[in-house]
A = this chain, B = another copy of it.
Amino acid sequence: MTDSPFTLHSRSSQCAARRGEVKTAHGVIQTPVFMPVGTQATVKGITPENLKELGAQIILGNTYHLFVRPGHELIRQLGGLHKFMNWDGPILTDSGGFQIFSLRDLAKITEEGAAFNSHLDGSKLFLSPEDAVMVQQALGSDIMMCLDTCIPYPASREEIIKGTELTGRWAKRCRDAHTNREQLLFGIVQGGMHEDLRARAIDELLEIGFDGYALGGLSVGESHEQMMDITEHTAAIMPQDFPIYLMGVGKPEDLIEAVWRGVDMFDCVMPTRNARNGMLFTSEGRLVIKNARFKDDPRPIDEACDCYVCKHYSRAYLRHLYMAREILSSHLNTIHNLHYYVNLLAEMRKAIEDDCFAEYRRDFYSRRQQK
């Protein structure tokens, strides 16, 4: 068992929501927290200063992408990922497992690791659990993830058992390869939608001992209800004195429901990707900026929002930038959407502190229905 980087501040009396912090080599993160995704050593379209200004505490980097380009050795040589991209706050790197899984026919998973073809030039590459840790150590992230096998959905119980057991054996190999203890290493709980398999996976990971535990294999096609059911059951039996991270999820309502069920950490491309596609989040729901009704609308995206974009720009201007395919459209939309997510988590932290998370959650849904 390792010392936990997690400190609990308070618990909701109304649900499993909890307010805490995670200590990393580049600073302490207040949880629950949302981590903006910076796939290729940049959160697309914005600077590290923009991230700080909008309140981001920690960002996520993608091991697969950085491994393929520009390469982890180059980043190590240039002083590590923090220095390379000019971000001095905490960074979590995924293991590459999900991206390799996304390559489908281009990837072959064996006991040894994952053989795959680069999405850039088709070149043959290989990533073992040991490689995944080595790459993340070269990047110098604050939180590393074990290489896992992402199990398709739907899958047979046998397939799920096979993938979950392999993830467990890989987790042990990752732990053994983990030499820089300045960097935290999280284990990933697989097990599909089966509560007993999730429980078995947790037991296996606990036997090895990690600095945090993640719920993997969700947001892969199951319903919102299925996702929340398995999150609730799994989060409840995960070790409560360590951070609990729900990977790759999701919509604002997913985050509210997962925090309710005890999750501490989130990442998702939704706020950044949707921003580039002109889909903006507001306190009253979503807004598609190219809609003709915004053509001459002098109001900000969200009158309840105090982000840089809502302070200075009209919907009419943002629609113009989107229609004209201006780069500034992605920049401003990204700042707004990330501010929305980061602020949503800040509001949730406050609601847990004030022990009124149930009321906060109710207000969240009623604001949307009023629209």
A: which residues have CB within 8 A of B? 40-42, 44-47, 69-70, 74, 77-79, 84-86, 295-296, 298, 312-314, 316-317, 320-321, 323-324, 326-328, 330-332
Taking CB atoms, residues of chain B closer than 8 Å to A69 are 320, 323-324
Q: How far is the CA of A314 from the CA of B70 in the complex (A)?
A: 13
Q: Are A70 and B331 in contact (CB under 8 A)?
A: no
Taking CB atoms, residues of chain B closer than 8 Å to A320 are 40-41, 69-70, 84
Q: How far is the CA of A327 from the CA of B326 in the complex (A)?
A: 11
Residue of B nearest to A319 (CB): B70
Q: Are B317 and A78 in contact (CB under 8 A)?
A: yes
Taking CB atoms, residues of chain B closer than 8 Å to A317 are 41, 78, 84-86
A239 to chain B, nearest CB (A): 38
Residue of B nearest to A317 (CB): B84
A44-B328, A47-B331 given; 20 more Cβ-contact pairs under 8 Å:
A40-B320, A40-B326, A42-B321, A42-B328, A44-B326, A44-B327, A47-B328, A47-B332, A69-B323, A70-B316, A70-B320, A77-B296, A78-B298, A78-B314, A79-B298, A84-B316, A84-B317, A85-B317, A327-B327, A327-B330
Taking CB atoms, residues of chain B closer than 8 Å to A77 are 296
Taking CB atoms, residues of chain B closer than 8 Å to A42 are 321, 326, 328
Residue of B nearest to A69 (CB): B324
A240 to chain B, nearest CB (A): 39
A174 to chain B, nearest CB (A): 27
Query: Which residue of A86, A314, A321 has the most chain B CB atoms within 10 A of its CB atom?
Result: A86
Q: Given A85-B317, A86-B313, A331–B45 Cβ distance below 8 Å? A: yes
Taking CB atoms, residues of chain B closer than 8 Å to A70 are 295, 316, 320, 323
Q: Are A324 and B40 in contact (CB under 8 A)?
A: yes
Q: How far is the CA of A69 from the CA of B317 in the complex (A)?
A: 11
Copies of this chain, tallied across the complex: 2
Q: How far is the CA of A243 from the CA of B45 in the complex (A)?
A: 38
Q: Are A312 and B86 in contact (CB under 8 A)?
A: yes
Taking CB atoms, residues of chain B closer than 8 Å to A331 are 45, 47, 327, 331
A-B contact pairs, 28 of them (CB 8 A): A40-B321, A40-B324, A40-B326, A41-B320, A41-B321, A42-B321, A42-B326, A42-B328, A44-B326, A44-B327, A44-B328, A45-B328, A45-B331, A46-B328, A69-B323, A70-B295, A70-B316, A70-B323, A74-B316, A77-B296, A78-B314, A84-B314, A84-B316, A85-B317, A86-B313, A86-B317, A327-B330, A331-B331
Taking CB atoms, residues of chain B closer than 8 Å to A328 are 42, 44-47
A74 to chain B, nearest CB (A): 6
Q: How far is the CA of A314 from the CA of B317 in the complex (A)?
A: 34
A298 to chain B, nearest CB (A): 6
Taking CB atoms, residues of chain B closer than 8 Å to A332 are 47
Q: Are A327 and B295 in contact (CB under 8 A)?
A: no
Q: How far is the CA of A327 from the CA of B331 in the complex (A)?
A: 8
A87 to chain B, nearest CB (A): 10
Taking CB atoms, residues of chain B closer than 8 Å to A46 are 328
Partner of A74, one of B45, B78, B296: B296
